[in-house]
Amino acid sequence: MTLVEPPLARPYRKFLPADSAVQYLDSAGELTGSEARYPRPSDHRLVEMHRNMVLGRRFDQQATALTKQGRLAVYPSSRGQEACQIAAAMSLRPGDWMFPTYRDSVALAARGIDPVEILSMLAGDWHCGYDPARHRSAPQCTPLATQLLHATGVAYGENRRGRDTVALAFCGDGATSEGDFHEALNFAAVFKAPVVFLVQNNGFAISVPLARQSAAPTLAHKGVGYGIGSEQVDGNDPVAMLAVMDEAANFIRAGNGPVIVEAHTYRIDAHTNADDATRYRDSSEVEQWLGRDPLTRLEKYLRGKGLLDDASADALTAEADTAAATLRAGMNVDRPHDPLDLFRHVFAEPTPQLREQQAQVQAELAAESEEH
* pTM of the predicted structure, to 2 decimals: 0.90
Residue 206 pLDDT: 85
Percent of the residues in the chain that have a pLDDT greater than 70, as a whole number: 96
Residue 305 in this model has a pLDDT that exceeds 60: yes
83 sits in the region (left: phi over 0; alpha: psi -120 to 50; else beta) called alpha
Q: Measuring CA to CA, which residue among 207, 216, 191, 190 is closest to residue 199?
A: 216
Which residues on neighbouring strands pair with residue 233, listed in sequence order? 22, 263
For residue range 137-193, list pLDDT tens digits in order: 999 999 999 999 999 999 999 999 999 999 999 999 999 999 999 999 999 999 999
The CATH classification number of 43-332 equals: 3.40.50.970
Residue 216 pLDDT: 87
For residue range 245-261, list pLDDT tens digits in order: 999 999 999 999 999 99
For residue range 343-372, list pLDDT tens digits in order: 988 899 999 999 999 999 999 999 988 877
For residue range 312-342, list pLDDT tens digits in order: 999 999 999 999 999 999 999 887 788 888 8
Between residues 215 and 89, the one the model is more confident about: 89
84/201 Cα distance (integer angstroms): 10
Is residue 53 a contact partner of residue 302, using CB atoms and an 8 Å limit? no
For residue range 13-51, list pLDDT tens digits in order: 467 898 899 999 999 999 997 767 899 999 999 999 999
- Contact partners, residue 234, CB within 8 Å, separation at least 6: 21, 22, 23, 240, 241, 263, 264
Is residue 93 a contact partner of residue 99, using CB atoms and an 8 Å limit? no
Mode of pairing for the β-strands spanning 259-264 and 195-201: parallel
Residue 215 in this model has a pLDDT that exceeds 90: no
Which residue numbers are catalytic? 267, 271, 280
Q: Measuring CA to CA, which residue among 111, 180, 106 is closest to residue 146?
A: 180
Residue 1 in this model has a pLDDT that exceeds 90: no
Is residue 175 a contact partner of residue 181, using CB atoms and an 8 Å limit? yes
Residue 14 pLDDT: 65
Q: Measuring CA to CA, which residue among 238, 174, 183 is closest to residue 206?
A: 174
